[in-house]
A and B are shown apart, each in its own frame.
Chain A
Amino acid sequence: MATPDELFCWEGDWGLPSVSTDCLVVLEISIISVGLKSQDQTTVEEKAYAQFAGAPLKLRKMSNPWRSPSGSLPALRIHQKETLSRPSDIIIHLRKQKYNADYDLSAKEGADSLAFISLMEEKLMPALIYVFWIEPKNYVDVTRRWYAEHMPFPLNFFLPGRMQRRQMEKLRLLRGDESLEAGEEVEKELYHDAVECMNLLSQRLGSQKFFFGDSPSSLDAYVFGHLAPILKSKLPNGKLQQHLKSLDNLTNFCTNILLLYFPRDGRENSNQKPLVQHDSGDFDHVPNKRRKQFLSALVALGAMVSYALLTGMVSIQHIQQEALEEPPDLQAIEEEGDG
C-alpha cells in the first residue's frame, strides 16, 4: 500500500486540538470522513479509522510553518509528492478519495450547508481576523505571545508580525477599505455582523445535536472551527466570547464536539492549565536544543569569519587578480603549442 497522506496542522492549546480555524475545520472533516491515524488516537477516532481502513491520514501537529511542505498550515501531502494547502482543496481531495463527510446528506441539506458556510465566510471570518490579529490588546497579549512562544528561535521574531500583516491586508481587501485600522467603529461593525451570524446559526441549530440531525457533516466542522477558538481562548477583549456564551445551544455544540472527537485535547488542557505558563520556559529547551546549538555555532562562526575578513585576510582580491591574469597566459601557451 502506498505511503499514507500526511496532514500538517498547527498544534493546539486552550483545550483545542489546533489553534487555527482552518486547521480545525480540516481536522474535524478528516476525522468525520476518514478517521485519523495519529499518536494521540482515541476511541472514537479508532472506530472511525476501523470503518475506513482504506488509506488513512497521518497527522502531524507542529508549530513551525516552515517545516510544512507548502510553507503554510494546514497542508496535505499526498504520496510524498503533491501538496495541497488551501482547506477547500484538501476537502475536495478527500471527497475524491470517497471520504465524504456529507455522504448522508440529501441534496437540499447539501445546499443548506453550502449556504451557511458562505454565511460564516462573509460575516464571521472578518470578525475572527479582527479579534485575534487586529485588536491591539488581544494580539499583543495572546496571539503574538502564543505564536512567539511556540515557534522555534529565529522565526519567532518575525513570523508572527508577518502573519499579522497578512491578516490585516486580507481584512482590508475583504472590507474594501485600504486604510482600515483597529478602532471602535470597525470593531462595532464587524462584531455586529458576527453576532448576527452567531444568532442565525443558533436559530438554525435549534435543539438538535448536529446541524443535520444526529450525525456530523462538514457544516458542523466549519461551525466548530470558527466558534471553538472564540469560545476557548482567553482574550482580554472578549465581547464575542461573552455573546457566544449566552447562546447555550452553540456552546454545548462546541463542547460536545470537543468531547466526542478530541477528548484527549480537552483533558490535557484541564490537567495542564495551571502548568502551561510555568512550563513554557523549560518547554522550549528540550525539543529545540540541537537546533539552537547548531544555530549559535553558526552565528559564532559567522562572526569570526566576518571579523577575520574585515581586519586581516584580504586574500579574496589576490585570487581575483590571479584569475583575471591567468586566462591570457593559458591562451598564449596554447597558441604557441598549435603553431
Chain B
Amino acid sequence: MSLAAEAFVSQIAAAEPWPENATLYQPLKEDQILLSDCASSLAVQAYLRMCGLPVQVVGRANAEYMSPSGKIPFIHVGKQVVSELGPIVQFTKAKGHSLSDGLDDVQRAEMKAYMELVNNMLLTAELYIQWCDNATAAEISRPRYSSPYSRPLSYILAYQKQWEVRRKMNAIGWGGKTLEQVYEDVSQCCQALSQRLGTQPYFFNKQPTELDALVFGHLFTILTTPLTNTELAERIKSYSNLLSFCRRIEQTYFEDKSS
C-alpha cells in the first residue's frame, strides 16, 4: 500500500468503529493454502483476536489476485481492504486498537527487529522449503497451489510461481544454500526467539504484542502442517519454551471461541 493511500486510509479509519462484518480472505484452507501463506494468515488472525476484533475467515481460490499487494492475507473492513500484518497493525492502530502502546522506545525497537527476524529467516525458510526443495515442490506445493485450475493453466501458474520464488532466493543469496543450511538457519532463528522469550509468558512479559502474534502464526503452522519430512517441525520442538508459548496462545485466544 502506498504511503498516500495509507495516510488516507488511516484518516478514514479513525472515524469509523470496527464493523461486525469484517472479513479476512485467504486461499482455500483444505486443498490450496501453502505453509507460508497459512502462517501469515494465522499471524493476522492471532493479532486480531488479541485485539479483540472479530473477523470472519473466508477461503477464496483467487485470494492472491484479490489482495492489493498480491500477498496473503488481506482483510476487508467496511470500505477498506488492507493486506499483510504490518499495514493491518497500522490500520487497527488508527482505529484505536494497539497492543504495543505500553512499550518504551527501546522495547519497540526490539519488537520491530524481532518481527523482521521472523520475516527474514522463518518466512524465507518456509518459502525455500516450499519451492526450492524439489521433493516438496513436486509433491505438495505445485499440486496444491494450482489445485483450483484446470490442466494447462495449472502447470503454467505453478511453474511461474516457483520460478519467481527461486529468482528471489538467488537475489537474496539463498539460492546456493542447501536444505541442511536452511534448517540450520531455522534453528538459529528459533534459538534467538527462545532466548528472547526466556521464561516470560509473552515476549514483552504479561501483555501480548504483534510480535507474539507473528511468532505464533509461523511456529504453530510449522508444527501442525505435514510436509514431506518432519525435520522442520523437529527443529522447533527442541525449544520447549517456544512450544509452551504456542500452546498458551492457542488456548487463550483460539480454543474458547471454537468450543
A interface list, Cβ under 8 A from B: 86, 88, 107-108, 110-112, 114-116, 118-119, 121-123, 169-170, 173-174, 176, 185, 188-189, 192, 196, 200-201, 203-204, 206
Hey, which chain B residues are within 8 Å of A203, CB to CB? 105-106, 108-109
| Chain A binder among B35-43, B115-123, B134-142, B218-226 | B115-123
Contact of B173 with A by CB under 8 A: yes
28 A-B contacts (beta carbon < 8 Å): A86-B173, A86-B176, A88-B173, A107-B191, A108-B195, A111-B192, A111-B193, A111-B195, A112-B110, A112-B113, A112-B196, A114-B192, A115-B196, A118-B120, A118-B121, A122-B116, A122-B120, A169-B171, A170-B172, A173-B167, A173-B168, A174-B168, A176-B168, A185-B2, A189-B2, A192-B3, A200-B108, A203-B108
Assembly CA distance A204 to B121 (angstroms): 21
Given contacts A86-B173, A119-B117, A189-B2, 7 further A-B contacts (CB under 8 A): A86-B176, A111-B196, A115-B116, A121-B116, A123-B116, A174-B172, A188-B3
Interface size class of B (residues with CB under 8 A): 20 to 34
- Check if B109 sits within 8 Å of A204, measured CB to CB: yes
- Check if A174 sits within 8 Å of B109, measured CB to CB: no
Also in contact, A200 and B192, with CB within 8 A (given A88-B173, A121-B120, A122-B120): no
Assembly CA distance A65 to B23 (angstroms): 52
Assembly CA distance A86 to B169 (angstroms): 13
Hey, which chain B residues are within 8 Å of A112, CB to CB? 110, 113, 196
Q: Within B91-125, which residues are at the interface with A (CB < 8 Å)?
A: 105-106, 108-110, 112-114, 116-117, 119-121
Also in contact, A122 and B119, with CB within 8 A (given A116-B113, A174-B168, A176-B71): yes
Also in contact, A118 and B113, with CB within 8 A (given A112-B196, A174-B171): yes
Assembly CA distance A122 to B114 (angstroms): 11
Assembly CA distance A116 to B112 (angstroms): 9
0/1 interface trace, chain B 207-249, chain A, CB 8 Å (1 if under) = 0000000000000000000000000000000000000000000
- Check if A189 sits within 8 Å of B195, measured CB to CB: no
Assembly CA distance A188 to B4 (angstroms): 10
- Check if A204 sits within 8 Å of B110, measured CB to CB: yes
Assembly CA distance A204 to B109 (angstroms): 7
- Check if B106 sits within 8 Å of A204, measured CB to CB: yes
Assembly CA distance A36 to B76 (angstroms): 56
Hey, which chain A residues are within 8 Å of B71, CB to CB? 176
Assembly CA distance A189 to B4 (angstroms): 10
- Check if B191 sits within 8 Å of A200, measured CB to CB: no
Q: Which residue of A lies closest to B118 (CB)?
A: A118
Hey, which chain A residues are within 8 Å of B22, CB to CB? none
0/1 interface trace, chain B 160-190, chain A, CB 8 Å (1 if under) = 0000000110011100100000000000110
- Check if B172 sits within 8 Å of A115, measured CB to CB: no
4 tightest A-B contacts by CB?
A: A111-B192, A118-B120, A200-B109, A115-B113
Q: Which residue of B lies closest to A204 (CB)?
A: B109
Hey, which chain A residues are within 8 Å of B114, CB to CB? 115
Distance of B225 from chain A, by nearest CB (Å): 23
Pick the contact of B116 from A111, A119, A170 — CB < 8 Å?
A119
Q: Which residue of A lies closest to B119 (CB)?
A: A122
Assembly CA distance A107 to B167 (angstroms): 34
